[in-house]
């Protein structure tokens, strides 16, 4: 079941704005089309937007990645599949399961994750992301509109 109103669980204003825009583009249809999205209408959130092609069951490819997402992840994976871009098996499985849920249930899926550095050197971050289905034919989800916000956490000094 899709959200009927803005879900209160979403605390980030950029993601809330993306959700409101997706709902607006649904109009009287259950799902908006990619062609319904106009980048000039969502300038404030564009750096946080990803467009993902649905290639088949559990197969996804990055079509567009906003500049803030590229900077935060340190790589521009446009044109790569999730299998190619996400090297960590556990993380890849988690991310693909979120896309699968969005596609299979034809509804927005929200997730928040904390990434802690086990090596003591990597950046720790809080990731908030909303996956929203798009459909050219109104039935089959062929693309996912994603708004992702990544906040790097300041690490307190650690005792050695």
pLDDT tens-place string over residues 47-98: 999 999 999 999 999 999 999 888 877 788 999 999 999 888 888 899 999 9
76 is a domain residue: yes
Total structural domains within the chain:
1
Output the domain CATH number for residue 45. 3.30.450.20
Q: What pLDDT is stored for residue 150 in this prediction?
A: 86
Q: Which domain holds residue 136?
A: 13-152
pLDDT at 3 over 60: no
8 is a domain residue: no
Question: What does pTM read for this prediction?
Answer: 0.86
2 is a domain residue: no
DSSP assignment letter at 58: T
57 is a domain residue: yes
Work out whether the CA dihedral 101, 131, 34, 76 comes out positive or negative. negative
Beta strands at 49-56 and 59-65: parallel, antiparallel or unpaired:
antiparallel
């Amino acid at each position: 079941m899709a959200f009927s109103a803005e879900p209160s669980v979403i605390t980030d204003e950029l993601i809330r704005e993306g959700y409101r825009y997706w709902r607006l583009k649904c109009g009287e249809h259950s799902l908006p089309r990619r062609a319904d999205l106009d980048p000039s209408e969502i300038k404030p959130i564009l750096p946080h937007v990803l467009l993902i092609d649905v290639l088949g069951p559990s197969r996804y490819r990055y079509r567009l990645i906003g500049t803030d997402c590229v900077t935060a992840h340190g790589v521009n994976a446009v044109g790569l599949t999730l299998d190619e871009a996400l090297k960590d098996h556990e993380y890849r499985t988690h991310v693909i399961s979120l896309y699968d849920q969005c596609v299979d249930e034809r509804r927005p899926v929200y997730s928040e994750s904390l990434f802690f550095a086990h090596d003591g050197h990597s950046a720790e971050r809080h990731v908030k992301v909303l996956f929203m289905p798009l459909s050219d034919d109104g039935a089959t989800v062929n693309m996912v509109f994603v708004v992702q916000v990544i906040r790097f956490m300041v690490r307190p000094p650690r005792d050695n």
